[in-house]
Structure 1
Amino acid sequence: MRYAWMDEYCLSKVGVEKEYKLEWDATRYMIKGKMFVLLGGDKEGKPIATVKLEPGHGEFLRQQYKDIVPGYYMNKEHWNSIYLEGEVSDEIVKDMLDKSYSLVLSSLSKKLQKEVVGG
């Protein structure tokens, strides 16, 4: 599988928890219970990763790459799915993961943010 590094990369981020949801047949990466990456499949079983992005940035990436589409089974404005058998570079995928992590972390209360990053 392409992007075999993704699991390790997500888990290397501070405060990330990994959970497999049997009923979704998908793996969630979360910060304090809030998801920032969902690894699963589309209705044909093609592997996808779904991440949260600022709406304008997500729209820009969807226009640039055929393998980045509106979030599968998610809010199409804020979530974007990447086909993992596609042609999106590792650098772009890592940037998307980083941005999703930052967005979700910043959405947490200041208290929870401090619990995650320390300080």
Structure 2
Amino acid sequence: MDLSHIDAHLLSRSGTTKALHEKWGWMVYWVGGRQFACEFTASPDAKPPYAGRHLLSLKCDPDRILELRAEHPGAVLPGYYSDGRTWVSVDLDADLPEGLVLDLCDMSYSLVFSRLPKRVQREISGE
């Protein structure tokens, strides 16, 4: 999967910034001061099934998480180092359709954006 395309897609969303979390070595994407995506390679010492995988963690609808994990076992995992009920980790080296990953990026952004204070939403939207 083309990480540069995913990165450009994430950054195309209004108000998105990204920064390297130096301690963890993760690239974290933010909107309104809240994280909505992070890209990283899990440590080889991490617990299975995460060990050594190149992952993208995203906020996700809980019902959709169950569907995704059933449809793509091994490629869509419970959110690494986050609440697996509301976050997923997508294996970027798995054979997932790029359109699916981009749709999940959009869902994550929308879920986090919708929880921002209305004032912040208006500022980001330019209203």
**What is the TM-score of this pair, normalised by structure 2?**
0.89
2:66 to 59, 70, 74: 59
Aligned to 1:28: 28
- The unaligned stretches of length 5 or more in structure 1 are none
**Any idea what SS the aligned residue of 2:57 has?**
strand
Cα distance in 2 for residues equivalent to 1:75 and 1:41:
18
**Any idea what SS the aligned residue of 1:28 has?**
strand
The question of 1:93 aligning with 2:87 is answered no
- The unaligned stretches of length 5 or more in structure 2 are 45-51
The code of the aligned residue for 2:96 comes to V
The question of 1:113 aligning with 2:112 is answered no
Taking only aligned residues, the RMSD between alpha carbons, in angstroms, comes to 0.9
Deviation at 1:32? 1.4
The question of 1:19 aligning with 2:19 is answered yes
The question of 1:76 aligning with 2:76 is answered no
The question of 1:103 aligning with 2:103 is answered no
Cα distance in 2 for residues equivalent to 1:3 and 1:59:
25
